[in-house]
């Protein structure tokens, strides 16, 4: 039996589809409050594959639920995690990402799980000098550019590496910013929602991006190769945020953003969002951490994963067009 946590998220839902398509029987762990929207989106037209999914309600922060979910499991894909760049969410980030991962690897050790994959993030590599190429050997450094999210993912990785020392056959994947048909209100996919609504601004920085289908493909191939005690950056291309935003705008048939956001506007922007947050319940799109990092250039190497798997990554233009097409079909159906 294969266990997938975070099964209703962007990576988890796509992973369920890929595993089911290969004929695997999967136990999908989800919170009771978790929405099935992304799962329904990914499996649309292939609903018969859902028969291979056994749903299990539970939270990775609940040790007893983790124990029950892990019974009879030989392989684990730990995709569950909290993504937030609000300083006020730091305690929850640690609880879910660090403590939840500790629960997962501890029970995996107790139950004799054979292979374990942890989905981390390139954020957990830390922020070295700007414009330097970050690799799997990049050492974490304390930096003002490390977000609370990055710190929590780094803490989670430490739990995984500790479990490896204790005998668990585990490996880590570090995806860059993931492109795919996720939640338009949160995570990396929120950018698609902002562009659809008519985004006027673009930041000056750059980062790595990758299609969600390449992320799950790499995870499964690494698991099949019985890889352990290694980490792999999963990154297709390093491009500017402006290039990504323009690609989304073109695919949606929207106007490209024309206002360049420099350092001064960045500082004004996140402070304005923080002020407005006091008068509303929704979370701000822009925080101090996202605004400042959006002005910097981060470069990620994909040489190790290409050498290990011989992967040819989906071009980012294709990734953007595929994601926009899925959303536009849904928007069209809603209007009908």
Residue matched to tokens 């589809």: 17
Please tell me the predicted confidence (pLDDT) of residue 276: 40
> What 3-state DSSP class applies to 196?
helix
Biggest CA-to-CA distance, the chain = 56
Q: Is the pLDDT of residue 260 over 90?
A: no
Please tell me the predicted confidence (pLDDT) of residue 289: 55
Burial of 127 (0-12, 13-18, 19+ CB in 10 A): buried
Closest CA to 238 of 313, 172, 145, 181: 313
Across the range 16-40, mean pLDDT stands at: 93
Q: Is the pLDDT of residue 7 over 80?
A: yes
**225 secondary structure, DSSP code:** T
Cα pseudo-dihedral 208, 4, 81, 180, rounded to 10: 40
Q: Is the pLDDT of residue 1 over 90?
A: yes
Closest CA to 195 of 270, 256, 241: 256
Q: Is the pLDDT of residue 267 over 70?
A: no
- Token pair, residue 137, equals 């050997």
Higher-confidence position of 285 and 77? 77
3-state secondary structure 96-132: HHHHHHHHHHHHHHHCCCCEEEEECCHHHHCCCCCCC
- Token pair, residue 63, equals 């040790």
Q: Is the pLDDT of residue 269 over 70?
A: no
Which pLDDT tens digit goes with each residue over 45-74? 999 999 999 999 999 999 999 999 999 999
Please tell me the predicted confidence (pLDDT) of residue 88: 81
> What 3-state DSSP class applies to 198?
coil
Please tell me the predicted confidence (pLDDT) of residue 57: 95
Fold assignment, 2-180+208-237+299-314: Rossmann fold (3.40.50)
Which pLDDT tens digit goes with each residue over 222-248? 999 999 999 999 999 999 999 999 999
> What 3-state DSSP class applies to 83?
coil
Residue ranges of the domains in the chain?
A: 2-180+208-237+299-314
Which pLDDT tens digit goes with each residue over 138-193? 888 877 778 888 999 999 999 999 999 999 999 999 999 999 999 888 788 888 99
- Angle at CA of residue 116, ends 55 and 310, nearest 5°: 110
CB under 8 Å, gap of 24 or more: what pairs does 328-335 form? Answer: 328/252, 330/41, 331/196
Please tell me the predicted confidence (pLDDT) of residue 268: 31
Please tell me the predicted confidence (pLDDT) of residue 40: 93
Across the range 4-29, mean pLDDT stands at: 96
Residue matched to tokens 């989304």: 248
Q: Is the pLDDT of residue 81 over 70?
A: yes
Percentage of the chain modeled with pLDDT above 90? 69
> Which residues, at least 6 apart from 40, have a Cβ–Cβ distance to it below 8 Å?
none
Contact 38, 8 (CB under 8 A): yes
- Token pair, residue 60, equals 């990775």
Please tell me the predicted confidence (pLDDT) of residue 293: 63
Please tell me the predicted confidence (pLDDT) of residue 201: 85
Please tell me the predicted confidence (pLDDT) of residue 121: 94
Average pLDDT value over all residues in the chain = 87
Q: Is the pLDDT of residue 273 over 50?
A: no
Q: From CA 118, how far away is CA 116, in angstroms rounded?
A: 7
Please tell me the predicted confidence (pLDDT) of residue 187: 80
pTM of this structure: 0.90
């Amino acid at each position: 039996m294969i266990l997938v946590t975070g099964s209703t998220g962007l990576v988890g839902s796509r992973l369920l589809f890929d595993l089911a398509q290969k004929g695997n029987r999967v136990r999908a762990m989800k919170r009771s409050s978790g929405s099935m929207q992304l799962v329904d989106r990914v499996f649309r037209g292939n609903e018969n594959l859902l028969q291979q999914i056994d749903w299990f309600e539970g939270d990775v922060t609940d040790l007893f639920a983790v124990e029950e979910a892990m019974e009879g499991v030989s392989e684990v894909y730990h995709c569950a995690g909290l993504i937030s760049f609000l300083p006020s969410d730091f305690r929850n980030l640690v609880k879910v990402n660090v403590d939840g991962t500790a629960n997962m690897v501890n029970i995996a050790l107790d139950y004799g799980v054979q292979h374990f994959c942890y989905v981390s993030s390139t954020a957990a590599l830390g922020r070295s000098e700007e414009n330097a190429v970050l690799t799997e050997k990049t050492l974490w450094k304390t930096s003002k550019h490390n977000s609370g999210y990055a710190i929590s993912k780094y803490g989670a990785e430490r739990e995984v590496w500790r479990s490896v020392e204790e005998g668990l056959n585990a490996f880590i994947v570090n995806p860059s910013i993931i492109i795919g048909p996720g939640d338009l209100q949160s995570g990396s996919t929120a950018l698609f929602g902002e562009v659809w609504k008519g985004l006027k601004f673009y930041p000056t920085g750059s980062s790595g991006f990758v299609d969600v289908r390449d992320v799950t493909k790499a995870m499964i191939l690494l698991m099949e190769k019985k890889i352990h005690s290694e980490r792999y950056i999963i990154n297709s291309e390093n491009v500017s945020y402006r290039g990504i935003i323009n690609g989304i705008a073109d695919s949606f048939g929207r106007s490209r953003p024309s206002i360049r956001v420099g350092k001064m506007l960045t500082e004004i922007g996140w402070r304005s969002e923080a002020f407005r947050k006091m008068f509303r319940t929704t979370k701000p799109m822009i925080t101090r951490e996202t605004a400042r990092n959006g002005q910097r250039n981060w470069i990620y190497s994909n040489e190790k994963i290409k050498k290990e798997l011989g992967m040819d990554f989906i071009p980012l233009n294709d990734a953007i067009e595929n994601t926009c097409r899925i959303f536009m079909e849904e928007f069209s159906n809603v209007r009908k």
